[in-house]
Amino acid sequence: MDEVPLAGGPVLFSGALDLERRPGGGLLPRRLPAWTRKQYPDAFMDFVSAMPSGVRLTFRTAARTLELDLLTTVRHFDEAAAPTPAGMLELVVDGRLVAREAAPVGRVLRLAHARAAARETPGEPGTVWFPGLAEGMKEIELWLPQQTPCELLALRADAQISPPEPSGRPRWVHHGSSISHCTQADGPTGTWPAVAAALGSLDPVNLGMAGNGMLDPYVARTIRDLPADLISLKLGLNPVLKAAFKPRTFVPAVHGFLDTVRDGHPDVPLLVVSPVFCPRVESAGPDAPAVPGFGAEYARAGDGRADEEPGDPGEAGLAPLTLPMVREALESIVLGRRGDDPHLYYLDGRELFGPQDAADMPDGIHPNAVGYRRMGERFAERVLGGSGAFV
C-alpha cells in the first residue's frame, strides 16, 4: 500500500472550501473559507463549518483496496450516555454506492448544551478500509460523515491515484439550516441535497449549517464568490427558532443576502425555498420547547431570549416571527424582485416535506432518514425536472 498525499496531490476535496492544517499534521476539511472564521459568533459555528456534509474525496484509480486514517470529533450532551456515533463513510465508484463503513469515534467534546464551553476528551485516530474493489480504472468519491468533523491523516492505495476526470456536471451551491445539513440522514449520500444532486446530475456544494441558517453576511459573500451554475437558499427556520429576527428586520436581511449573492451571480438561476412543515413550531413561534438530542442547539439556556426587548406588541413589525409569516414574506420578496430578476424563483418548502410527511419527523423539526431521501427525490422532480436546471 502506497501513501497518497492529501494536499497538493491528485486528490480533490469536492464540497470543501478550506483545508485547515492541524497541529498533528492532518487536514480538516471545512465548508466555509478560512477568512470567515474571524466572523463566527461562537465556537458552535466553528464546529458546524467543520462538519463535512457533502464533502468527498474524489480521484481516479485502479486500486482494489483503499485505506483512510482519520481522527473524528463527536459531541456529547449527556454525561450518562455513550458519545454520539461518528457516522458513516461511503464509497461511490463510477456513480454507484458500493461500500459503507462506520467512522471511528475519536475525541469527544462534552457540552451541557450546544453553545456551552466544551470539555474535550482526547481520542485516538482510526483506520477505515475499503477492500475488494472492482478491477480496472475507476472514478472514486469517498464521502465523509455529514455530522462529524474529520481530521484526515493518511490515504493509502494499492495502485496509483490520479486526479478525477472533469465531471461536466453543473455546480449547485445550496445554503440552509440543519434540515439541509441533515445530520439525521443514514449516511452522507442520504442527505437530501446529495440525493437530489445524484438524481439531477449536479455537482453539489452543501452550505447547510445546523442551527446557523441565519442570513449571515459572510455566508452570502462566500456564495457570491463561488463558481456556481445553480444556487438555492432554504431560509427562515433558524430565525424563528432562535427569535433572531422580527418581521421588521427579517425582510431587509433577506433582501441584503440576495443582493450580495447577486453581486457575483447576476444571472444564475437562484431559488429561495421557505421552511418545510415543522409541526412543533408551525404556530408556536420562538417559544417552542427545546428539542432533545441533536436539537439541543436550540436550547434556550444562554440565548438571551429572556432579556429580549419585546417592543410594542401592537406593532406588526415587532411581533414574534412565525413560520407562516416567513413563508409569506419570502414569497412576497421573490415576487417583488422578479420584475428586475427573471432568474429568481420561489418554492414553498412544504412541497418538499408537508403535513402528510409528519410521521417521518419524529422530533417535530428534523426529518428522519426516510424523510430526507423523499425531500431529495421531490426536489429533483419538482425543481430540477430531470434537466439539471431549475424549472
Mean model confidence pLDDT for the chain? 89
Q: What is the mean pLDDT of residues 33-46?
A: 95
| 8 grid coordinates | 497538493
pTM reported for the whole predicted model: 0.90
Q: Rounded to the nearest 5°, which phi and psi values hold at 372?
A: -65, -40
- Least-confidence region, from 28-42, 101-115, 359-373: 101-115
The pLDDT score that the predictor gives to residue 310 is: 42
Using an 8 Å Cβ cutoff, are 55 and 144 in contact? yes
- pLDDT of 230 > 50? The answer is yes
What's the CA gap between 238 and 214, in Å, rounded?
A: 6
Q: Per-residue pLDDT averaged across 123-142, rounded?
A: 96
Averaged pLDDT for residues 333-348:
97
The residue whose grid cell reads 427525490 is 377
> How high is the pLDDT of residue 297?
37
Residues 156-213: tens digit of each pLDDT:
999 999 999 998 999 999 999 999 999 999 999 999 999 999 999 999 999 999 999 9
Please state the rounded mean pLDDT for residues 143-156: 97
- Give the span between the Cα atoms of 217 and 131, in whole angstroms: 44
The confidence band for 296, taking pLDDT boundaries of 50, 70 and 90, is: very low
Radius of gyration of the chain (CA): 21
Give the pLDDT of residue 298.
34
Cβ contacts of 342 within 8 Å, gap of 6 or more: none
Is-contact 274 348, C-beta < 8 A?
Answer: yes
pLDDT tens-digit series, residues 234-284: 999 999 999 999 999 999 999 999 999 999 999 999 999 999 999 998 875
CB atoms inside a 10 Å sphere around CB 88: 23
Whether 117 and 78 have beta carbons less than 8 Å apart is answered as: no
DSSP states of 295-316 as a string? GGGG--TTSSGGG-----TT-G
- Helix (H) / strand (E) containing 176: strand 171-176
Are the beta carbons of 150 and 71 closer than 8 angstroms?
A: yes
Question: CA-to-CA distance for 22 and 15, rounded, in angstroms?
Answer: 19
* Domains of the chain from N-terminus onward: 8-162 (2.60.120.260), 171-301+315-384 (3.40.50.1110)
